[in-house]
Structures are given as C-alpha cells and as structure tokens.
Amino acid sequence: MIAFIFPGQGSQYAGMGRVFADNFPVARQTFVEASDTLGLDMADLCFNGPEEALRLTTNTQPAILTASIAVWRVVQQEIGLTAAYAAGHSLGEYSALVAAGALEFSDAVRTVRQRGAFMQEAVPVGVGAMAAVIGLDGEELAAVCREAAQGEVVAPANFNSPGQVVIAGHAEAVERASALAKQRGAKRALLLPVSAPFHCALMAPAGERLRTVLAGVEIHPLSVPVVTNVEAEPNIDPVRVRELLVAQVSAPVRWEESVRRMEELGVTRFIELGPGKVLTGLIKRIANNAAGQGVEDLAGLKAL
C-alpha cells in the first residue's frame, strides 16, 4: 500500500521543478497556472531564486506547493500511480489535499500565499523563534517547555521523528527551553533560521485570518483520505477540511504519529513528491516496516 507525502517549508531551493517543466508539458502548465493565479512568475522564482526571495514565507509556501504538484501531475500522467493515503508536513498538507481532489490547485496556491503572509505578520520579526531539539522525547520536552515558559509561550511545534522535536514560541522562552533541555539530557538544541514561530499559540491570529479566506474556498469530496497534521488520523470528510487547516496553523505537526498511523493502516511505501528528501529521511527513522522514496528529479521518477 502506497502513501503520497508532500514536503513543507525548508525544502525549497533554486532550481526546484525545472527539470520536470523542461521535459513535461503538464509540469510546465502547472507553473503557468500558478503564475497566472498569483500575478507572479512562479517558474522564474522556483528555477532561479534568488535564495533570499525563496526564503520569504509568502513566496516559499506557493513555490513549494507548485513544485510539488508539478511532480505529482507528472507521476499521475507518466506512471498512473495511485495512493491509498496522502499526507504533507505543514504546508505540504495543502499539496496532499490537491492530490486528494479536495482543493483546486489555483485555490490552494492562492490560499497558501495568504497563509504565508498571515503567519509572517502574526508575530513581529525577532519576537518569536524556533529550535530543533535532538535527543529528548516529546513528553520530556513538553514538560521542559512548561517549566521554561515563565508566562511566555514555548511549546513543541513539530514532532518530526523519534528524538527530533522542534519547539516554537517567544524568542527568550525558546532560549530558556533550549538551555533547560540540554541540562535534561538533550544532545543538541539548535535555533532555526526561520522568520516566525510556526505551529504554536502565537500563530492563532494567523489562523483566524486564514479562516476568513478558507470560507470562500470550495472544498470537494476527497478521493483518498488525508492524514492530518492536527490529529494524525485519516480524514475523508470535506466538511472538516477547513477547520483542520485553521487549527493546523497554531497546533503542532504530529508527523511521527502520522507516519506510524499510516503504517498501522497498511502503508508499506511512502513516496515523497516535491523538492528535497527531508520526509524520506524522517521515514527511515520512524517506520519499522515501510520504505521511503523521493521523487524530485528525473532519476527519482525513473526509479519510481
């Protein structure tokens, strides 16, 4: 049984998707569709950068979505491969919903550009931070965060894999939690080069602004269940999609649980569609009886 998985922010790089656009009209058209929707040359942004432009959250989110859907469309056309489940890491959940037929691509790319702006504007630059903590389990780290908060916000934001959890919140609280985590046995606590503290309570205002946007987006029936970041459970109900996407902005990404749940449901192959191989690397650390495989270039497509 196969699951399609889609990358999130941090997987972007200049050149992503170019080889697919050069070789497959359906991929080329995906970039044109995104450009027409946003009034922004998405092919130029994805293929040429520069990196500083690609790192801007309002650009990063639609760029990764577009590159991922270009790859997914090529896989559909050239191989005709179908999956039993779809999932994505944070932003990648929008790619999964496009693949499941719940969202039109143009609606998704428009929504994630606004999502990126809302998330960036929710917290002034420098007020928030995120850090990757290596070597503590989620429960231990949640306790550390509660102790370090001291009236501020800091909490687990991404449960990525065993012993790899990202925390987010007020910058000083994140620093306190990082130091305390190392005292409690964490191997490392590394501040991440991000522009906002994603997936924590500080993002709640962004979620409310996103709710207004999503109210105007049509949600179609899902052709396959999408395992959501918020619940780490498959959702097939289109009525729940909006609420889950709103909650996702300020709730932690339960990626490790999501992968384990798909394994329980019978998934034996996770195919990552889009730039980078971050999720494929996480699959190796999470899954006991399943393999991960990335498709971000022609060699990956041929291997698939």
pLDDT tens digits for range 117-160: 999 999 988 899 999 999 999 999 999 999 999 999 999 999 99
- Domain 2-122+202-303 sits in CATH at 3.40.366.10
3-state secondary structure the chain: CEEEEECCCCCCCCCCCHHHHHHCHHHHHHHHHHHHHHCCCHHHHHHHCCHHHHHCHHHHHHHHHHHHHHHHHHHHHHCCCCCCEEEECCCHHHHHHHHCCCCCHHHHHHHHHHHHHHHHHHCCCCCEEEEEEECCCHHHHHHHHHHHHCCCCEEEEEEEECCEEEEEEEHHHHHHHHHHHHHCCCCEEEECCCCCCCCCHHHHHHHHHHHHHHHCCCCCCCCCCEECCCCCCEECCHHHHHHHHHHHHHCCECHHHHHHHHHHCCCCEEEEECCCCHHHHHHHHHCCCCEEEEECCHHHHHHC
CATH number of 128-194: 3.30.70.250
The residue from 11, 35, 90, 195 that is catalytic is 90
Catalytic site includes residue 90? yes
- 68 catalytically annotated: no
The tens digit of pLDDT for each residue in 166-217 reads 999 999 999 999 999 999 999 999 998 887 899 999 999 999 999 999 999 9
Q: Which of 11, 161, 195, 199 is catalytic?
A: 199
- The residue extents of the domains of the chain are 2-122+202-303, 128-194
pTM of the model: 0.95
